């Protein structure tokens, strides 16, 4: 059974804190993604990674960075959290093999920045 896990379901941080969101997949997938999901704005891609130590900016990378030191783990970092980064954060992964892009999602982390 495929599985994507995220380190926290709910997180509350203060403005200016450095925040780490962790995502781990056990499916040996090459590609991993970080999204945020907000009412009225849908899913927006922050960063993605095609391979270990590789990263590409998505549509809204400002204020975020990522790290992929191991194939199974993709971390999202908020260098200095701000209130407008309060959101639901979703991690997803897909393999290189396969003819279509089914993304497997984690359960999400609801982050509140006070």
Partner 1 sequence: QKEVEQDPGPLSVPEGAIVSLNCTYSNSAFQYFMWYRQYSRKGPELLMYTYSSGNKEDGRFTAQVDKSSKYISLFIRDSQPSDSATYLCAMSEGGNNRKLIWGLGTSLAVNP
Interacting residues with partner 1 (CB under 8 A): 4, 31, 40-43, 45, 48, 50, 90, 92, 94, 99-103, 105-108
42 burial level (CB within 10 Å; 0-12, 13-18, 19+) = exposed
Nearest distance from C-beta of residue 71 to partner 1, angstroms: 15
Q: Tell the smallest beta-carbon distance from residue 5 to partner 1 (Å).
A: 11
For residues 77 and 67, the answer to whether their CB atoms sit within 8 Å is: yes
Of residues 53 and 100, the one with the C-beta less far from partner 1:
100
Tell me whether residue 48 or residue 64 sits nearer to partner 1 (CB atom): 48
What is the DSSP code string of 14-45?
Answer: -TT--EEEEEEESS--SEEEEEEEETTTEEEE
User: Cβ 64 to partner 1, closest distance in Å?
Assistant: 17
């Amino acid at each position: 059974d495929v599985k994507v896990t995220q380190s926290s379901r709910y997180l509350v941080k203060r403005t200016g804190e450095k925040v780490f969101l962790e995502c781990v997949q056990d499916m040996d997938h090459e590609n991993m993604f970080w999204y945020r999901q907000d009412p009225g704005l849908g899913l927006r891609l922050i960063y993605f990674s095609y391979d270990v130590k590789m990263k590409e900016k998505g549509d809204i990378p400002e204020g975020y960075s990522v790290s992929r030191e191991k194939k199974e783990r993709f971390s999202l970092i908020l260098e200095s959290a701000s209130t407008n980064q309060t959101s639901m954060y979703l991690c997803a992964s897909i393999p290189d093999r396969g003819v279509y892009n089914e993304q497997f999602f984690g359960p999400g982390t609801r982050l509140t920045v006070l």
